Each structure stands twice: as structure tokens, then as C-alpha cells.
Amino acid sequence: MKTIITTLTLALTTFFLTAQTEAENISESTSISVIVPVQSNDGNVVFGLYDETSFMKQPLVGLEGEIKDGKASVTFTDIAPGTYAVLLFHDKNGNKQMDFEPNGMPTEPYGVSNNVMTMGPPLWSDAKFNVTDEPVELEIRM
């Protein structure tokens, strides 16, 4: 009987300690707010948040921002500290994908965190930024 009570006590203690650790991790998350000036009110702006392994592939989080008064903005919430990049494009035709010419050139305006625009696809080293436990605010140009 003593063994059962001891085992039960240890199991409950472990459960509560794990719950406390998870609550602490949640409190360490923050947000990333992104605003982008837009030339046209057609469509929406699609935003993607990436880490190094997902960069230029599948975003960790994807959001769509409505264009109001020549700007679109979104806020990524519950973001753990780390290194991230934001890619976005103006989805003028509403098909939720970036459109390209046959030669590979994009037909819709796009932007990258840190506002580094080079010939060719964006590079992780140019687009990355660090996130701590403080909220981050970015303005990205297209």
C-alpha cells in the first residue's frame, strides 16, 4: 500500500511540474507584427513566418492580411524565441499562391524581412532576424 501511495505521489508531482514548465514556456512566447505598404487595393497580402529549415518551403505560420488604407498588417502570436524570417507577397488575383512568368520572374510584388532585395530568390542569411521574449515590429517593403 505504501508503494502505491508513493508511486501515485511521484506521478502527480511529475504531472504538476510538467504543467508548470509548459506554462513557463508559454509565458516566454511573444509576437511579431508586420506591416507592409501596398500600391494597389486588389486582393490581399499573404505572409509567411519561417525558420532556417522551412525557409522558402512551407511556412511555420501563414497569415493573410487585408489591405486597408494602402497597408496590410498581421501579427504572428505565441512565437517562441529564436531566429526567423518573414516572406510576403501581394496576392492580387486571390489564388493564394505567388504567380510567376514562364521565365521564373514573379508577376506579383513580394517582400522579405530586413528589406534586402537581390536578383534571384531571397537568402536566409539576408532575411533572418532574432526574436527574444520582447514583441517584434517589422515594416517590409515590396
pLDDT, tens only, 16-52: 333 344 444 445 899 999 999 999 999 999 999 999 9
The answer to whether residue 38 is domain-embedded is yes
Number of domains in the chain: 1
| Alpha-carbon torsion (71, 76, 81, 82), positive or negative | negative
* CATH number of the domain bearing residue 44: 2.60.40
pTM: 0.78
Model pLDDT for residues 60-98, shown as the tens digit of each residue: 999 999 999 999 999 999 999 999 999 999 999 999 899
Domain span at residue 62? 30-139
